[in-house]
Chains A and B, each alone.
Chain A
């Protein structure tokens, strides 16, 4: 007897590299939203999910996800619907080329749930520097050689910048802290019904970070435990740290597992540590 084939919400076979952090992020996102009516916005990049999921999708340009979703969200709300508008993009999209219109959508308080999976470079195009690439890291456009020692500048603190728009919800998430992550997805979903919600999720890319795929979760954990990627949330500008790290480890715990950092000099590591400490102090001040 033939069984009726039920099409799953998301394909079990997605074309992402083994050990891809983003794949876990999108699978968990969809799982948390499975009982909600939502439209999934995707753009050029590894996370374009159209034709691979059985939910409504809208494919945007690399440059215009937030305004495109704003248009859809406005019209749906005008029709009296409260469909969740889920925007998924990488750091190249949201912190670089489309940061301006993402900021504008935040300022307008558009009803969007924006999720940035941050793998700290343009991975889909073959590992090029983004404004989220950490100081000192190798990429194909910040190579290492006699006259170059990796990326010269600090990361853009773009989740803080968005939180400073005093929007409904902003949070940083790490897949290693799964309960915290899932809780924040639900909080962001609810917040997106009253305004703009943004999740900044660390998503290791073994291909681009030149690391072994099996340590992907460990890297997420190290990033939190070194205060390199502290976990916090902000509701309308009221910040609070959601995972307190009692004894932060040195940042080398995070960098040592990745070949993109293998060339770092002691001076570069000292600088990176200093920046991690300063950034964390700044965050603590915001949390009051």
Chain B
């Protein structure tokens, strides 16, 4: 049923539909509405869930890790410096293979109190061992949260999963969202008790989080890495099943838009992708053979997909909402470039930094990116990294 919802409200609806057992809440702009909504659902009796009202994000992550280890399906949401504050228990949760889903509503993290958007917060956790899904709008956010639980609780995966929602441009944007029926969701996502994983109740003296060293430690580290990698196989299957029940799908690890005969590409993730599609349509009308590759899953990084899509193109312009400080480029750019290194027949690559703080990723900026990408593809001396907001 279509309902007008913000992405924050859609995220709370998804948590309810997933029948979460325990949630931890702590406010931070622009995420607070998710925490409030989940609390209100419990207060109204719509959701049977225990809410832990903790005193900070560090305890948010710690307490839901505890609840998940004891067998619960858990949920939380955070943002920006809140995500940074929980970095320590986040690494623990991933290292200990604890399934959980968290929504990160993106926000700038630097010292100048930028409370507006940027994906710097999420990007800074990329090597924590979490899975990261990047939806582009409220509908996809809701759907991705449901898929995230399937991934996270898969016995071959068992990893915490972060679903990233762009602050303000998604979190505070109201639009019609198709909220699925509970009965449909129950068919897609079984109760957590039916998901087999090691628990305290498995034996008289089950002990969680042993201290390991040497080869024992390496063994777990290696198999955690394998589990992350395995997600690249599981995710398309989960999405296919999702499509069968709900009739929606988003194109797997990387969504391709008009790439089949394209000579040039833009690459984006998150909320900037809609505008990028429109600009690409206009450019196509103007005779420019350009398409869009939207990275839907950042961890694990779909390197094989990226190589396949980029091969044979003349130039690719990557639009980032975050900065690799020390590199002067964006994170999507850096990863895509690493993916195509040593591959043959690869395009020229450009990095565009935009949409940081209150600066918008506007139609004009994306048009500018198209122009520069085409110029680079034609051999013109285009600067590699460009901060669009200053142009």
Contact = CB atoms under 8 A, between A and B. Distances in A.
Task: Say if the two chains contact directly (CB < 8 Å).
Answer: yes
Interface of A: 39, 48, 50-51, 53-61, 63-64, 66-76, 78-79, 100-101, 103-104, 107-108
Contacts of A108: 52-54
A78 B52 CA distance: 12
B312 interface: no
B59 A64 contact: yes
Contacts of B59: 64, 66-67, 70, 101, 104
B55 A101 contact: yes
B69 A58 contact: yes
B204 A64 contact: no
A120 B52 CA distance: 32
Contacts of A79: 70-71
Contacts of B385: none
A39 B70 CA distance: 11
Contacts of A75: 21-22, 50, 66-67, 70-72
A50 B67 contact: no
A101 B50 contact: no
Contact of B21 (A53, A61, A78): A78
A54 B65 CA distance: 23
B220 interface: no
A50 B205 contact: no
Interface string B82-98: 00000011001000000
Q: Which 6 A-B pairs have the closest CB atoms?
A: A71-B66, A59-B209, A64-B62, A104-B55, A67-B59, A71-B67
Contacts of B217: none
Contacts of B205: 53-57
Contacts of B65: 68, 71
B353 interface: no
Contact of A74 (B52, B62, B200, B204): B52
A104 B26 CA distance: 12
A68 B62 contact: yes
B206 interface: yes
B64 interface: yes
A53 B207 CA distance: 9
Interface residues of B, number: 36
A76 B62 contact: no
Interface in B183-205: 200, 204-205
Contacts of B208: 56-59
B211 interface: yes
B216 to A, nearest CB: 11
B289 interface: no
Contact of B207 (A57, A67, A70): A57
Nearest to A79: B71
Q: Mostly helix, strand, loop or mixed at chain B's interface?
A: mixed
A101 B72 contact: no
A61 B209 CA distance: 10
Nearest to A52: B207
Given A67-B59, A101-B55, 4 more contacts: A51-B210, A61-B89, A68-B63, A68-B66
A67 B62 contact: yes
B303 interface: no
B56 interface: yes
Contact of B58 (A56, A72, A101): A101
B347 to A, nearest CB: 44
Interface in B232-289: none
B160 to A, nearest CB: 14
A101 B61 CA distance: 12
A78 B207 contact: no
A61 B92 contact: yes
Contacts of A73: 66
B63 A70 contact: yes
A53 B211 CA distance: 14
A53 B210 CA distance: 12
A50 B53 contact: no
A60 B62 CA distance: 9
30 contacts: A54-B204, A56-B205, A58-B208, A60-B62, A64-B88, A67-B58, A67-B62, A67-B63, A67-B66, A68-B66, A70-B54, A71-B68, A71-B69, A71-B70, A71-B72, A72-B69, A73-B66, A74-B63, A74-B66, A75-B21, A75-B71, A75-B72, A100-B56, A101-B55, A101-B62, A103-B55, A104-B54, A104-B55, A108-B52, A108-B54
Contacts of A100: 55-56
Q: Which of B50, B62, B208 has the most CB of A within 10 A?
A: B62
A70 B211 contact: no
Contact of B89 (A53, A56, A64, A107): A64
Given A72-B70, A75-B22, A75-B71, A63 B52 contact: no
B210 A58 contact: no
Contacts of B210: 50-51, 59
Contacts of A103: 55
Contacts of A76: 70
Contacts of B50: 74-75, 78
Nearest to A75: B70
A48 B211 contact: yes
A53 B64 CA distance: 25
Given A70-B52, A79-B71, A101-B59, A63 B207 contact: no
Contacts of B53: 108
A56 B206 contact: yes
B297 to A, nearest CB: 27
